[in-house]
Amino acid sequence: MKIVALILARGGSKGIPYKNIVPINNKPLLAYTINASQKSMIQETWVSTDDLQIKLIAQQYNASVIDRPAALATDTAKSDASLVHFANHNNFNVLVFIQPTSPLLSYQDINRGIEIFINSKYDSVFSVYKEHWVPRWTISGTPDNWDINNRPMRQEVEEKFVENGAFYITSKKALLKSQLRYSGKIGMVEMPINRSFQIDTEDDLKLIKELI
């Protein structure tokens, strides 16, 4: 069974310019997930990018690179299409799709996901963290799915799992059939919330720099 990882890292980023290679403690953001992948039971670590600078940094950290077509690197292009593009050009059995915006991801998290995927015979697995109920409000200022006249106690509301976006695991067969990162019999691997942060904004970046 050949297990490979794919990290999608396009050059364009509106929120944080060149977000995927922004330096954190003198190391590019992309390097953190490359290193986590390389320490895990994954056999090959790939980066899909449309950008030469990102390509060179990926190679500097000993990742293989697949050139992503420009049409798959736009603001509106879906990540799943780039996964399918990779699958159509590479030989593997299991794909671990890792997002570079999750630098706190550890190789133990990845290994646990792979073990769950294999041992439980799932078609796909993705990472989550557990969330206790908190009162959420809509932008317009109304309660989001709860009643202010009957506010529940936290322990009365069922806990939920939240997709943290760190990684997704699926088989090549399932990916090519569904064209999606997860399909069929789907499982979850829980990560602690303190390793579930993603970098999407400048505030996220400041927080991560404090944590690493």
| Residue 136 pLDDT exceeds 80 | yes
Q: What integer is the mean pLDDT of 56-66?
A: 98
d(CA 190, CA 126): 9
Query: Is 151 noted as a catalytic residue in this protein?
Result: yes
Q: How many CB atoms lie within 10 A of CB 76?
A: 4
Residue 188, domain CATH: 3.90.550.10
Look up the domain containing 12 and give its range: 3-130+161-211
Q: How confident is the model at residue 44 (pLDDT cuts 50, 70, 90)?
A: very high
pTM over 0.75: yes
Would 154 be classed as within a structural domain?
A: no
In a domain, 142, yes or no: no
Domain annotation covers residue 103 = yes
Within-domain flag for 156:
no
Cβ neighbours of residue 163 closer than 8 Å, sequence gap 6 or more: 126, 127, 128
Using CA atoms, how far residue 26 sits from 31, 144, 211, in Å, is: 10, 41, 14
Quick check: is 122 in a domain?
A: yes
Instruction: Determine the pLDDT at residue 75.
Output: 87
Taking only the tens place, the pLDDT of each residue in 91-132 is 999 999 999 999 999 999 999 999 999 999 999 999 999 999
pLDDT band at 13 (very low <50, low <70, confident <90, very high): confident
- Angle between the N-to-C axes of helices 52-60 and 29-39, in degrees from 0 to 180, rounded to the nearest 10: 40
Instruction: Confirm whether 25 is domain-assigned.
Output: yes
Task: Give pLDDT, residue 56.
Answer: 97
Q: Grade residue 157 by pLDDT with cuts at 50, 70 and 90.
A: confident
Give a yes or no: residue 172 inside a domain. yes
Q: How many domains does the chain have?
A: 1
Residue 17: the pLDDT is 79
Residue 152 inside a domain? The answer is no
Q: Tell me, what's the pLDDT at 11? A: 87
Say which of 68, 151, 154, 181 is annotated catalytic: 151
